[in-house]
Structure 1
Amino acid sequence: MTLPIKLNDEQQAMLNGERGLAKQMGMRLLVDMAATAGVREFVPITSAHLSGVSPLTGGLGLRQFLAKLAADPEAQVAIPTTLNSAGCDEAQFDEMRITAPHFREHNHEIVEQYTRLGVRPTQSCIPYEWEGVVADGPAAWAESNAICFGNSYTGLITNRESGLSALACALTGYTPKYGLLDERNRRPNLFVVVTTELTDPADFSILGDWIGKQRQSDWEMPYGPIPVIQGLPADLTHEQKKALTAAAANYGCPMLYIDGLAERPSGYFQSRLFFGERELRQRYAELYPDTAVSLIVIGCPQASLGELKATAALLQGKQVSSDAPPLWVFTSSANKAIAEKIGLAEIITGAGALLLENTCPEVVPYDQNWVKHILTNSMKAEHYITSGLNGIPTSVMKLADCVAVAVGELEIEDWRLAETPLADRQMGQTRPLPPLPPRHTSSRKATGAFQAQGRGLPSQKNFTVTGEAFVTNAPITLLGFVNRETGVIEEPGHPANGQSMAGKIAIFPKGSGSTVAPYVLLELYYRGKAPLAIVNTEIDQQSAPACSLEGIPYAYDFDKDIIHHINPGDQIELKRDGDEVTIRVLKRKRDQDYHYV
């Protein structure tokens, strides 16, 4: 293995296994990350924040991987490290009416394993609100809203890490100097002009999400949209800034600049966007609930003290109506403790709302026998609850309107389910979900001999893998759309829907979706249902980390079009010799058996 980066004595000792298995695995992943990014320097970091806590997102893959690390007596994080929101409030588990089997036990196991590694079990998606958390300087954070908030407002310097890469950085104390750790990559690339007054935090949430939705395929933004926003007041509240960055992160924004708030570097702007009264009104109209609401959630990201004060003020002297949806308010354990001391918690719970800690609306496994439609004041909640593992229709209104619905002052529609069996009910949605973008499928079968050269991960040794090819020209969303137990693609509209990757050499462009997705691949590996090898057209930050950590053969960046020259079902060979990886067709699938994906 030719290392692309010069290691110091400490780093080399970790890579050699002299500091234990956990740090060796972490350093191996960082070396691979450095190689794929083309950098030759590691920098020490001041803090880490880890995502991948809820059993809903991490699953068996996360639990088994953490158990493997925790079995190493030398496995301890090297720098102050905090933990993201868990999947439930264990103390109020029954009140959350979660029915997923063994969920509380698995949630407890995950938090306990992280704690054994020396991670501070904050169970919070707002580390920037915690006392004692280092939120400036080079870091490795893996929660999208926290990344965008820290990079934008606190002096934090972090990439959008995956759960696995952030953990590797935490164990070793280093990160490759690439991406947003290079000042040149922190320049703005989008100019947004706001021409209407924004006041409520929900207004800012809608703006942040709207910016991400405007992204065009021809924009060159390798690290995501980094907008400059003009037209906002200079005296924004903490809650307004938080709502803006949390929603902007929905579509990959790692940081933003508010014109006039602080100095900013010059940039190359891909486009100039205008957000005015018409756009704001249109989005509120599109997000307004037009069918029955069954649950109201506040606090995504977890509610600050300011948000708790605003909620308590709206609930003062009122009661959540028995004819209205339940109201759940999510916050951190630190903020809840303060709220209890100053009387805010008593007002909120006294009004009949549920005040939850240690969890967040987007990672809860709702019982969909009764949770059919959620109302929130957060575009972050709307984005994640409607997609992925929950897939529940979600509407958005301002906080005051959400509370008004909860106390019966504003009626949308009777929230209670019809007295009909679940199987007989139509699973309605507030708005039709957008169709999947069209994917090109070819009816032309590749023939004849084919061979191509590509790249591999520096940490992997020589290998030869032969097997059946699984091929699709569409990205694969591992979290939520790949069956964790079988490896079958379960995404209607995807050209490979219904096809299994298990036991095959999987060839696809790259992964898409959540940064917690590598744990899905790990679970498939632990269940014996993973692909024999993974081949991407470009480096995939979802597949590559799992392959690096567990030695699943991996290759990318080939000199020829592998997707259109290899057919599904062809017998192929993937071979690594030194630094070179070769893929070649051994036998074409017979015409009568051929199946296109």
Structure 2
Amino acid sequence: MNEYNYQVELSERDKAILAGEEGKASQIAMRIVLRIAEMQGAKKLVDITSVHVGGSIYTGQASLKVVEALAEMGAQVKVPTSINAISIDRKRWKDQNIDPEFAGYADRLATAFEQMGCKPIFSCTPYVFPENPKLGDDIVWAESNAIVYSNSVLGARTNRQGDFLDICAAIVGRAPYCGLHMEENRKGNFVINIPKVKNVDSSFYTVLGYLIGKHAGADIPVICGVEEKPSLEDLKYLSSTLATSGAVGLFHMVGVTPEAPTLEAALGGQPPKRTMDVTEEDMLSVFEKLSTTHEEKLDLVLLGSPHFTLGDFKELAELVDGKHASPDCDFLITTNQYVYEQAEAEGYLGLIERFGARVSTDICLCMLNADMFPATAKTAMTNSGKFAHYGPGLVGKGVSYGSLLDCVNSAVEAKRVIGKPNWLQ
């Protein structure tokens, strides 16, 4: 116990912030960080190098008022801080049937974060930007796929955090030292042996992540049997579904991720708690069950959860070259402005737009407003396992899941066309 009555060890700077020496906003932010640290059982705080704010979605006046109050008190972030996708496409919302009052509130929330020094990348894939955390860095990243990706692929250290801790941690540059920040809590204990298949693509990793997430519980998976190094896109889709079907914050992939050069290293020299041998039949079952509708007619194709990357745009451009989507099927892709400009420069956007697709920035699929689509639209299709899971509740439509090629073929026909996965050919 200390003079401030917190059951957390305080540095001299922590005490100075609590005494108001860095301003009222920092004082409030530190109090919140410390209370959450107590709830999490942390004994001390740790300096952080990066924050990705997840509380950027407008969900009502309460969240807006808290963030605006911090900004009005002069709060400024102490470490590089980026902003997750927001509730509107700032450039296109007027053409998307979005209620102006809602758009105004959503814009105010984003503006308040910007006033505090947050970088307006408006993306759920902060790891595609040039500056990334390094191996061993302590960070506070929100957005579930970004948490898994940063922990696993980058080897940085963050816990799964709720809204407001992220911005408060950014203001004081400190976070609770517990969970995945601690070396002893980062060892794998659940070995996953994957089947040997050919033609591995992002749909393979989407399905694999969803399957593992359902079985992982509180354990840390160690994936064995990867023969070809996965792409950034493969690891993005894997991270997103691990966090969708389960509460996974970290995985290891032997020979791929930085903390798993060997199985022994990934397990910390200890035997695994349990092992799961994944079969092709297991994978196919998950692939099929990700679809929550089997309606033949297709009204929408929705891509970009997590945000489309440059590699996604390249793959899609190659698939749509020379083809045309049916006028009866809307085709929407969400991404961030940074990748949008890259895809435009590479010529991918031209091919994709000639096919009949449209691209929206700042928002992502899990923040879509149902008013963006005609009331007659009843069914959608996606290559995102995350959106296949959440989409029916978010947009009130039946959602089919398929590979990116399936999505293209279905858009051309305006009906559900799902082939056997390439990795089962």
* TM-score (normalizing by structure 2): 0.88
Residue of structure 1 equivalent to 2:423:
none
* Structure 1 residues 151-189: Cα deviation after superposition (integer angstroms, max 9, x where no partner): 111121111111211111101001121110111111113
Cα 1:68–1:370 change in 2 (3 A) is farther
Q: Which residue of 2 aligns with 1:205?
A: 206
1:246 is matched with 240
Could you tell me whether the CA contact under 8 Å between 2:290 and 2:385 is conserved in 1? no
Aligned CA distance change for structure 1 residues 95 and 207 (closer, same or farther; 3 Å): farther
Aligned pairs for 1:395-410 within 5 A: 395-408=400-413
Equivalent position SS for 2:60 = helix
For 1:272, what is the secondary structure of its paired residue? Answer: strand
Any idea what SS the aligned residue of 1:102 has? Answer: helix
Amino acid at match of 2:110: V
Q: Give the structure 1 partner of residue 422 of structure 2.
A: none
Matched, 1:23 2:26: yes
Report the 3-state secondary structure (helix = DSSP H, G, I; strand = E; otherwise coil) of the residue aligned with 2:139. Answer: strand
Partner secondary structure for residue 25 of structure 1: helix
* Pairing partner for 1:272 from 267, 272, 275: 275
Write the distance in 2 (CA, Å) between the matches of 1:393 and 1:29.
Answer: 40
| Among candidates 415, 420, 423, match of residue 411 of structure 1 | 415
CA distance in 2, matches of 1:268, 1:37: 27
Q: Would you say the 8 A contact 2:140–2:169 is kept in 1?
A: yes
Report the alpha carbon displacement of residue 305 of structure 1 after superposing the two structures with TM.
Answer: 0.7
The one-letter amino acid paired with 1:207 is: L
8 Å contact from structure 1 (residues 386, 393) kept in 2: yes
Report if aligned partners of 2:18, 2:31 keep a CA contact under 8 Å in 1. Answer: yes
Q: Deviations over 1:403-456 (max 9, x none)?
A: 111122x7339xxxxxxxxxxxxxxxxxxxxxxxxxxxxxxxxxxxxxxxxxxx
CA contact (8 A) 1:192 1:228 kept: yes
Q: Secondary structure at the match of 1:191?
A: strand
Residue 260 of structure 1 pairs with residue 255 of structure 2: yes
Q: Contact 2:370/2:396 (CA < 8 Å) preserved in 1?
A: no
Query: How far did 1:270 drift?
Result: 4.1
Shift of 1:397: 0.2
Partners of 1:140 and 1:337 in 2: CA distance: 27
Unpaired runs of 5+ in structure 1? 414-597
Match of 2:380 among 374, 384, 394: 374
In the comparison of the two structures, how many residue pairs are matched? 399
Is the contact between residue 196 and residue 275 of structure 1 (CA under 8 Å) also seen in structure 2?
Answer: no
Q: What SS class does the counterpart of residue 148 from structure 2 fall into?
A: helix
User: Mean Cα displacement is larger for which, 127-136 or 353-362?
Assistant: 127-136
Q: CA RMSD in A?
A: 2.0
Write the distance in 2 (CA, Å) between the matches of 1:111 and 1:370: 32
SS of aligned partner of 1:255: coil
Cα deviation per residue 1:111-160 (whole Å; 9 max; x = unaligned)? 11100011001100111100124354100011110110111111211111
State the SS of the aligned residue for 2:138.
Answer: strand
Q: Which residue of 2 aligns with 1:188?
A: 188
* Cα separation, 1, equivalents of 2:144 and 2:89: 21
What does 1:292-371 correspond to in 2, within 5 Å? 292-323=297-328, 325-367=329-371, 369-371=375-377
For residue 90 of structure 1, report the CA deviation from its aligned partner: 2.2
Distance 1:275 1:287 in 2: 17
Contact 2:210 2:286 in 1 (8 A): no
TM-aligned CA deviation for residue 293 of structure 1: 3.1
* Equivalent residue number for residue 70 of structure 2: 69
Q: Give 1:337-486 correspondences, 5 Å limit.
A: 337-367=341-371, 369-387=375-393, 389-408=394-413, 411-412=415-416
Change (3 A) 1:96 1:295: farther
SS of aligned partner of 1:273: strand
Note if contact 1:47-1:135 (Cα within 8 Å) is conserved in structure 2.
no
Cα deviation, residue 268, structure 1: 5.9
Alignment of 1:151-230 (within 5 A): 151-197=151-197, 199-215=200-216, 221=218, 225-230=219-224
The Cα offsets for residues 285-319 of structure 1, whole Å up to 9 and x where unpaired, read as 32344114332111111111110001111111222
Secondary structure at the residue paired with 2:76?
coil
Secondary structure of 1:322's match?
coil
Q: Post-superposition shift, 1:94?
A: 4.1
Deviations along 1:180-237, one digit per CA (max 9) or x if unpaired, are 011111111322111242612012111101111225xxx6x2xxx3101112224211
Flag the 1:268–1:386 CA change in 2: closer, same or farther, 3 A.
farther
Question: Comparing both structures, which one devotes a greater share of its residues to helix?
Answer: 2
Aligned mates of 1:366, 1:238 — CA distance in 2: 30
Which gives a bigger RCO, structure 1 or 2 (Cα 8 Å, sep 6+)? 2
Alpha-carbon contact 1:376-1:395 (below 8 Å) kept: yes
* Residue pairs, 1:43-58, within 5 angstroms: 43-55=46-58, 58=59
Task: Provide Cα deviations, 1:19-43, integer angstroms capped at 9, x if missing partner.
Answer: 2222112110121122223332221
Instruction: State the distance in 2 between where 1:3 and 1:290 align.
Output: 55
Q: Taking every aligned residue pair, what percent have the same amino acid on both sides?
A: 29
* 1:318-345 Cα distance to aligned partner (Å, 9 max, x none): 222113x211111111111111112111
Shift in Å, 1:101: 5.6
Structure with bigger gyration radius: 1
Is residue 103 from structure 1 mapped to residue 97 from structure 2 by the alignment?
no
Aligned amino acid, residue 203 of structure 1: F
- Alignment partners' CA distance in 2, 1:280 and 1:60: 43
Aligned in 2, Cα 1:236/1:150: closer, same or farther, shift over 3 Å?
Answer: same
Query: 5+ unaligned residues in a row in structure 2: which ranges?
Result: 418-425
Runs of 4+ in structure 1 over 4 Å off: none
Determine the C-alpha separation between the residues in 2 that align with 1:411 and 1:295.
10
Aligned-pair CA distance for 1:390: 4.2
Contact 2:290-2:388 within 8 A present in 1 as well:
no
Matched-pair contact (CA < 8 Å) for 1:377–1:398: yes
Residues 47, 175 of structure 2: 8 Å contact kept: yes
| CA–CA distance in structure 2, aligned partners of residues 322 and 162 of structure 1 | 41
Cα-to-partner distance string for 1:78-119 (whole Å, 9 max, x where unaligned): 100000011222212244344x46232122111111000110
Matching residue's letter, 1:405: S
